[in-house]
Structures are given as C-alpha cells and as structure tokens.
Homo-oligomer: A and B are copies of this chain.
Amino acid sequence: MTDLKSVNNPLFLREEELRQAIELLFFAYRDFTAGPDQILKDYKFGRAHHRVIHFVGRNEGMTVSELLDILRITKQSLNRVLSNLIQRGFIEQRQGEEDRRQRCLYLTEEGRSLEQKVSRVQRELVASAFREAGGEAVAGYRKVLTGLIDEANRDTVLNRVLKP
C-alpha cells in the first residue's frame, strides 16, 4: 500500500525535509561546540568565555560596545565573563585613542595561546567536514547558512565575518 501521507498531503515531504534540516543543524551544532567545551573546562571557562576570546581574537582592538552588539547579551552578563578574563590575564584593555571612553580589547599572549588551542580543534572538525563534503558542498553550506541569518542585519554580520 502506498503511503497515505505522500498521496494525500503534497506538503508532507517538504515539511519532513525541513524538519530533517532543522535536526541536522541541532546535532551538528551540538557536536561542533563539544570540542571547545571540553578544553575550556580545564581552564574553568565556559562557552561565554570562548565567544569573547574568539571575537576579540578576530577583532583586535574592538570596543566593548561592538562586542556587546555581536554577542547580543547585556553588559552585565558580559562583564562577569570579561572581567574574569581580564583578571586572569587572557584579555587586556587599552583606553581608546580617539575616544578615551572606549576600552579596546586585546588578547594577551596567554589569551592568544588559548584561542589558538580551542580554535584548532574546531577548525580541524570543520576542515574534515569540508574535505569529506567537497568544494561544491562547502559553497552550498555557506549559501544556506547565510540565508539563515536574520535578514535585517545580514549585511552587517557578513561584513564582520568576511572582512578579516
């Protein structure tokens, strides 16, 4: 007997396909963050610290406001994590040269070393997935993920991601 769902409901396959895509993203993201989480545990840092180290590493000299804007958390939330990273010598602040209210953020030697260590496992995972999937698939991955980014600030985000 033919499956009633596909006969009677032409949207079924499409909905099913979308649900699969959603779960795939869930599981991929879960495993994508597992490696860094493991390493950071040794330093008693969490995912929040990781994000700060990552973005400061890629945007040396960025201000606190810029970081808040990327992370989309409150400054109170950031502050606990950030002051912890500063106290423990992974990040340092310098007063802005033009605008002296700003605190520009930099990784210390130690911070850079941790960033590298954590980043490496993640890059190796992605590199391996890219190798397995092939160049065309990688282009597709980028296209789809780009489309998932909120349209309202997609350009802003892409500029940040692509402009190193």
Q: What's the nearest-Cβ distance from chain B to residue A31, in Å?
A: 4
- If A123-B19, A138-B140, A144-B141 touch, whether A150 touches B31 (CB-CB below 8 Å) is yes
A160 to B27, CA, bound (A): 11
- If A140-B140, A144-B138 touch, whether A126 touches B22 (CB-CB below 8 Å) is yes
Chain A interfacial residues counted at CB < 8 A: 55
Residue A101 lies at the interface, judged by CB distance under 8 Å to chain B: no
With a CB–CB cut-off of 8 A, which chain B residues contact A138?
Answer: 21, 140, 144
Q: Which of A76-84, A104-112, A127-135 contacts B (4 or more CB under 8 A)?
A: A127-135
Q: Out of B26, B54, B145, which one reaches A28, CB within 8 Å?
A: B145
Q: What's the nearest-Cβ distance from chain B to residue A144, in Å?
A: 4
Report how many copies the assembly holds.
Answer: 2
**Cross-chain contact A20 with B133 (CB below 8 angstroms):** no
Residue A29 lies at the interface, judged by CB distance under 8 Å to chain B: yes
Residues 136-148 of A, flagged 1 when their CB comes within 8 A of B and 0 if not, give: 1111111111111
Residue A122 lies at the interface, judged by CB distance under 8 Å to chain B: yes
With a CB–CB cut-off of 8 A, which chain B residues contact A31?
Answer: 148-150
13 A–B contact pairs at CB < 8 A? A18-B130, A19-B119, A19-B123, A22-B123, A23-B160, A24-B161, A25-B32, A28-B146, A129-B145, A129-B146, A129-B148, A133-B146, A140-B144
